Structure 1
Amino acid sequence: MSNVEDNQKIGTIVGGALSSGLEVRLDSDYSVENLYVGDGITIEGREKRYFGIISDMMLQSSDSSIRSLPPNSSDFFVTSILSGTSAFTILKISLQLAVSLDTNIDEFDKLSLDNISFGPATTLPPHFSPVYRATSKDYTEIFGSEDENHGWIGTPKGRDAEVKINLDLEQLIKRSNGVFGKTGTGKTFLTRVLLSEIIKKDLGVNLIFDMHRDYSDSVNDESGKKINSLKQIFPSKVEVMSLGKSLNKGQVRPDAEIMVSYNDLEVQDIEILSETLNLTSAGLLAAHALDRTYGDKWLGLFLNMEPSEDKENPNSLSAAAERTGQLYTVLHTLWRRLEILKKFEFLQQNPAEESIKRIFTSLERGKHVILDFGTHQSNETAYILVTSLITRRIYERWAEQDNQLVIAIEEAHKFLNSEVASQTIFGTIAREMRKWKVTLLVVDQRPSGIDAEVLSQLGTKFIHQLEDNRDIDSILAGSSRDLRSVVSTLAPKQQALVIGHSLPMPVVIDVRSNDTLANFINPDKTPNEITNIERDNDDLFGEKK
């Protein structure tokens, strides 16, 4: 856009505060319709240059009669006189960064990147400081260029494809992160981009629990274009494992079938199913009593008991009640609600192979593992149970590993709500952050359902459109209040506000797509390398038409 790249002045600082945002009076010759909430701006102070984002726009007037008796909109002469004088636009700016100007150089644009030291904006530009819309050079100075540690995730909202936002992936994977947004906003697509960048740059290994088969097999987007799976894009780096028998349909053949032993399940794996299976607190206490009495085999033995009050039958629930000191009615209710687990063919008494060891070995070798839930896709009980079990067992073994492990889970509020977060392995990982080189990538449509402490520990948040005020309040807790209006103006699809430690300042992005392929290719690449990049990019984002 020409009005971006020529560094045209758009307004002047007229007031505001560091806590609530600055106020900018828009120049009369600059159209407010060329700006967006979330747009990047720069401010030239006397000693510093400032960077921020537009958090709101307001139409104001200095003459009260304009409100009660506005001019006829068809009278161009009158409206043009009033516009910019009695009637004007005020921009609210959320100030983010500041950089000291080199007083020996007249023009900031002559500074090299090596001379720039960014920091949080802890002071204000003086009154009447000129304000500019951020240029592509400004974005490059702030977000850097793509390299072995930085990955391109999109372009600033409303900008041309040449303007790129690069994420510090090395910093990203050191802490747990979250992708949030209501259904249909593009959470899964952005998650694919993040996972793909981690895989491509070999910065760690991913363990992906694929509830809906969004990552393990090819899918079609809303326009009908085929998007290949991570396995098809990176066949030598990714392994797909199917929970139980794999589905016959699909283009990706699983590398292994995962079976789970009843002996692997602990009471905490059952506790996390409390909401899903409507388990009572008395039932969970009974489960602990069964575990103490029967040991590791308690669940398999319990589910094979007969629901009988015959105390003489050693395999009856009544006999178990006697041994554990629990009420028969409590055991019987627990048995009925856990009976659904017997329908899962992947749960076995003595599996032929220790599947969790198989997953661990692949991760240890640097392979990225996708667990495809196959015939159990969209089965909430199976997803919660298996994801909890495998995560706990892998976490226990990962302490001696040097490689960073990122565990991606969907429906995160099921694992991290305030009732269970303190008791589950996921709450432990989120709170301990990078202690054991294991972090989470949580994907969810209901951030208000996640424990507030866990949300506060997330390093970077990718926020798509949200409508529920509770969700917006939860996800922005601890952030600038100005960002609330930014979230409310996000597009319904493929647009997100990104905030957190893996980038210098908040930014609204249009998520990267294959339409920006020209920027993805390094001009130093050979023709063969460019062809391979084009093919990989088409695989990931669908072929360009």
Structure 2
Amino acid sequence: MRRKRLGVVTDGAFNAGLTVRLDPGVSTESLRIGDFVIVEGEEYLYFSAITDLELRATDARVQADPPPDDAAFLREVLQGTATYATVQVKPYLMMRRVSPAEPLAAAEAALVGEEGPRPVKTIPMHFAVLCEAREEDFAAVFGAEDEAHFAVGTPLTQDIPICLDLRRFVERSNGIFGQSGTGKSFLARLLLAGIIAKGLASNLIFDMHNEYAYSVQREGGGWAKGLREIFGPSSVLVYSLDERASRQEGRAVDGVLRLGLNQIEAEDVLLLGEELDLTSTAQATAGLLQDRYGEDWLRALLEMDAEAIQAFCAETNAHPGATEALQRKLKEVARRPYIQPQAAFDQVDEMLHVLEGGKHVILQFGRHQRLLDYMLVANVITRRIMRQYEAKWNRYLETRREEDKPRQLMITIEEAHKFLNPAAARQTVFGTIAREMRKFNVTLMVIDQRPSGIDTEVLSQIGTRVTGKMTEERDIEAVLTGVGNRPFLRGALESLDTRQQVLLMGHAVPMPIVVQTRNYDEAFYQAVAGGGRRPGRPEDLAGKLEELFG
């Protein structure tokens, strides 16, 4: 079956893209910015995206004096002759055409072997044909559901699954971005469910608003299941900061977490500087205290009277006013219900053991939903896990035994700009993970509505970006940091609907594409609980490959 023809190439340049004149009868209203299309060259197929639509006329008189509404026949005569439409097309990948007469083995090699899609190096000649992509074309580029590929949605105008390569997704840090109300949390749950179903990484999820483990109410009514309810307690464990949460019927937790003053380091104070309204001098004082008292620095500070503060400042050249201010502010931290004077890392190490065993951990914050709580606890726990992972990786390098290799771990955080702003990213554990920890098998999934607040160096390390609608100029610029063909991607972001439409780009997809995301419903729960395969789409690969690249 041949592809549906849309038009022919009439102009173009390698950097600017191709201009295609649409055939008569092909309406611009049937196309969308970001649509995946195929240009059939003489030697190559060009996997491309529509970047712009334009209406044109060959005679200026038609523009100056268009036919009236009741002149239907005249309008029909002019369409395709005196008036026509063009689309701008950007090729991203190319693949040598395979004759239908060649054996199936050759066609299959073209699909998955060295002759598969590669970055575009040239452009087709005039009059190359633009066609609508078929399901086989999507599979050739984005893959079909298997042990690594996961269907995240469909093109805006076709019911064909678009897959994300989750193995590539988890091996680098990635981001989910979008303005408020674009469904970032539901999208995160969808992706996390895919990763759990495929078994490609363990997940540590810092659940600030208690919406990942158990059911939450949808905006339009009804309830959406949490990850614990989909995969069960044997796969997903839930911990909480809130002891009350452990007593809620139907929302069991596997442990209540407590932190000790001895577990809080000066680095945590740097991260909390904005939340506690600390001056830079007060933040520097925390470092001096830690140098002097070690892990008991915070308890020592809280127990100091005026005389002890003066003695400490005389010994270290710290500023007495800054030290007193730091003491006042950190008393607020010490009063948090989950903080106790001394604590071991037993519970955190238990979480790490669970993660190493291939399971997944959700830490709920219960009533403690201030940013102060979220940032402090996430930083303390993640720092401990990062140090353990680094030690395990170094052990693996020594032994080179596969059983010593740490399991891939992805850590999910919300309000990422609070952890990864330019000041914090250079001094805290999350900035280190984003920049360096990929080599130790630890990555981040950051969720944020204000990517402009994230350090640009960190943004440049984000491998895959899943982005909903954005209209704020600074946030759009931030999301597109380090990305080519920005005008097209900018237009695609601005044209998205506020719900269930995202732009996929980066390491886990071969080329950018706009998709309508899958519904997070009973059909989805059943599909992922059964291993993540999309129901109702049996693939007859042998039958389709023979007709794929004619």
Question: Is residue 239 from structure 1 mapped to residue 237 from structure 2 by the alignment?
Answer: yes
| Structure 2 CA distance for partners of 1:425 and 1:86, relative to 1, 3 Å | same
Q: 2:513 aligns with which of 507, 510, 528?
A: 507
Please tell me whether the aligned partners of residues 204 and 403 of structure 1 are also in contact (alpha carbons under 8 angstroms).
Answer: yes
Deviations 1:465-521 (A, max 9, x none): 011111111111222122111111111111111011212211111111157949986
Deviations 1:10-36 (A, max 9, x none): 111111222222111111211111111
Question: Is residue 447 from structure 1 mapped to residue 451 from structure 2 by the alignment?
Answer: yes
Please tell me whether the aligned partners of residues 260 and 355 of structure 1 are also in contact (alpha carbons under 8 angstroms).
Answer: no
Please tell me whether the aligned partners of residues 213 and 373 of structure 1 are also in contact (alpha carbons under 8 angstroms).
Answer: yes
Q: 1:493 aligns with which of 488, 496, 499?
A: 499
Q: CA deviation at 1:433?
A: 4.8
Q: CA deviation at 1:415?
A: 0.9
Instruction: Report the Cα distance in structure 1 between the residues aligned to 2:100 and 2:437, rounded to whole angstroms.
Output: 43
Query: Can you give the 5+ residue segments of structure 1 that lack an aligned partner in the other structure?
Result: 523-527, 535-545
Secondary structure, in 3 states, of the residue corresponding to 1:375?
coil
Question: Is residue 46 from structure 1 mapped to residue 42 from structure 2 by the alignment?
Answer: yes
Deviations 1:422-444 (A, max 9, x none): 11111111112521110001111
Where does 1:85-484 land on structure 2 (aligned, <5 Å)? 85-102=81-98, 104-105=99-100, 112-116=107-111, 117-160=116-159, 163-235=160-232, 236-247=234-245, 248-249=247-248, 251-306=250-305, 308=306, 311=307, 314=308, 317-351=309-343, 354-377=346-369, 379-399=370-390, 400=392, 401-477=405-481, 478-481=483-486, 482-484=488-490
Deviations 1:252-277 (A, max 9, x none): 21100000111111111110112222
| Structure 2 CA distance for partners of 1:304 and 1:246, relative to 1, 3 Å | farther
Instruction: Report the Cα distance in structure 2 between the residues aligned to 1:216 and 1:13, rounded to whole angstroms.
Output: 51
| Structure 2 CA distance for partners of 1:326 and 1:41, relative to 1, 3 Å | same
Query: Can you give the 5+ residue segments of structure 2 that lack an aligned partner in the other structure?
Result: 393-404, 536-550
Instruction: Report the Cα distance in structure 2 between the residues aligned to 1:441 and 1:115, rounded to whole angstroms.
Output: 34
**Paired AA for residue 85 in structure 2:** T
Query: If the length of structure 1 is used for normalisation, what is the TM-score?
Result: 0.89
* Residue in structure 2 matched with residue 541 of structure 1 by the alignment: none
Instruction: Report the Cα distance in structure 2 between the residues aligned to 1:276 and 1:108, rounded to whole angstroms.
Output: 66
Instruction: Report the Cα distance in structure 2 between the residues aligned to 1:408 and 1:84, rounded to whole angstroms.
Output: 52
Secondary structure, in 3 states, of the residue corresponding to 2:196?
helix
Q: CA deviation at 1:97?
A: 0.9
| Structure 2 CA distance for partners of 1:82 and 1:232, relative to 1, 3 Å | same
Please tell me whether the aligned partners of residues 101 and 108 of structure 1 are also in contact (alpha carbons under 8 angstroms).
Answer: no
Instruction: Report the Cα distance in structure 1 between the residues aligned to 2:328 and 2:150, rounded to whole angstroms.
Output: 50
Instruction: Report the Cα distance in structure 2 between the residues aligned to 1:332 and 1:361, rounded to whole angstroms.
Output: 40
Deviations 1:313-362 (A, max 9, x none): x4xx3343334322221112222222320221111112377322222222
Please tell me whether the aligned partners of residues 152 and 164 of structure 1 are also in contact (alpha carbons under 8 angstroms).
Answer: yes
Where does 1:69-80 land on structure 2 (aligned, <5 Å)? 69-80=65-76
| Structure 2 CA distance for partners of 1:34 and 1:515, relative to 1, 3 Å | farther
**Paired AA for residue 470 in structure 1:** R
Secondary structure, in 3 states, of the residue corresponding to 2:32?
coil
Please tell me whether the aligned partners of residues 218 and 251 of structure 1 are also in contact (alpha carbons under 8 angstroms).
Answer: no
| Structure 2 CA distance for partners of 1:29 and 1:282, relative to 1, 3 Å | same
Instruction: Report the Cα distance in structure 1 between the residues aligned to 2:530 and 2:346, rounded to whole angstroms.
Output: 40
Secondary structure, in 3 states, of the residue corresponding to 1:112?
helix
Instruction: Report the Cα distance in structure 1 between the residues aligned to 2:148 and 2:43, rounded to whole angstroms.
Output: 32
* Residue in structure 2 matched with residue 13 of structure 1 by the alignment: 9
Q: CA deviation at 1:86?
A: 2.2
Please tell me whether the aligned partners of residues 139 and 165 of structure 1 are also in contact (alpha carbons under 8 angstroms).
Answer: yes
Q: CA deviation at 1:205?
A: 0.4
Deviations 1:113-157 (A, max 9, x none): 332311011110111111011112211222221111211211122
**Structure with more of its chain in helix, by fraction:** 2
Instruction: Report the Cα distance in structure 2 between the residues aligned to 1:134 and 1:142, rounded to whole angstroms.
Output: 11
Instruction: Report the Cα distance in structure 2 between the residues aligned to 1:336 and 1:355, rounded to whole angstroms.
Output: 29
Deviations 1:25-80 (A, max 9, x none): 11121111111111111011000011111111111223223333222233212222
Q: CA deviation at 1:391?
A: 0.7
Where does 1:26-65 land on structure 2 (aligned, <5 Å)? 26-65=22-61
Instruction: Report the Cα distance in structure 2 between the residues aligned to 1:32 and 1:106, rounded to whole angstroms.
Output: 35
Instruction: Report the Cα distance in structure 2 between the residues aligned to 1:224 and 1:402, rounded to whole angstroms.
Output: 42
Secondary structure, in 3 states, of the residue corresponding to 1:300?
helix
Secondary structure, in 3 states, of the residue corresponding to 1:420?
helix
Please tell me whether the aligned partners of residues 174 and 433 of structure 1 are also in contact (alpha carbons under 8 angstroms).
Answer: no
Instruction: Report the Cα distance in structure 2 between the residues aligned to 1:144 and 1:520, rounded to whole angstroms.
Output: 22
Secondary structure, in 3 states, of the residue corresponding to 1:93?
strand
Please tell me whether the aligned partners of residues 177 and 467 of structure 2 are also in contact (alpha carbons under 8 angstroms).
Answer: yes
Secondary structure, in 3 states, of the residue corresponding to 1:374?
coil
| Structure 2 CA distance for partners of 1:214 and 1:128, relative to 1, 3 Å | same
How many matched pairs?
513
* Residue in structure 2 matched with residue 83 of structure 1 by the alignment: 79
**Paired AA for residue 364 in structure 1:** E
* Residue in structure 2 matched with residue 537 of structure 1 by the alignment: none
| Structure 2 CA distance for partners of 1:346 and 1:495, relative to 1, 3 Å | same
* Residue in structure 1 matched with residue 399 of structure 2 by the alignment: none
Please tell me whether the aligned partners of residues 411 and 445 of structure 2 are also in contact (alpha carbons under 8 angstroms).
Answer: yes
Please tell me whether the aligned partners of residues 13 and 127 of structure 1 are also in contact (alpha carbons under 8 angstroms).
Answer: yes
Q: CA RMSD in A?
A: 2.5
Deviations 1:187-207 (A, max 9, x none): 111111111111112111000
| Structure 2 CA distance for partners of 1:214 and 1:289, relative to 1, 3 Å | same
| Structure 2 CA distance for partners of 1:17 and 1:433, relative to 1, 3 Å | farther
Instruction: Report the Cα distance in structure 2 between the residues aligned to 1:167 and 1:17, rounded to whole angstroms.
Output: 30
Please tell me whether the aligned partners of residues 241 and 370 of structure 1 are also in contact (alpha carbons under 8 angstroms).
Answer: yes
Instruction: Report the Cα distance in structure 1 between the residues aligned to 2:88 and 2:102, rounded to whole angstroms.
Output: 26
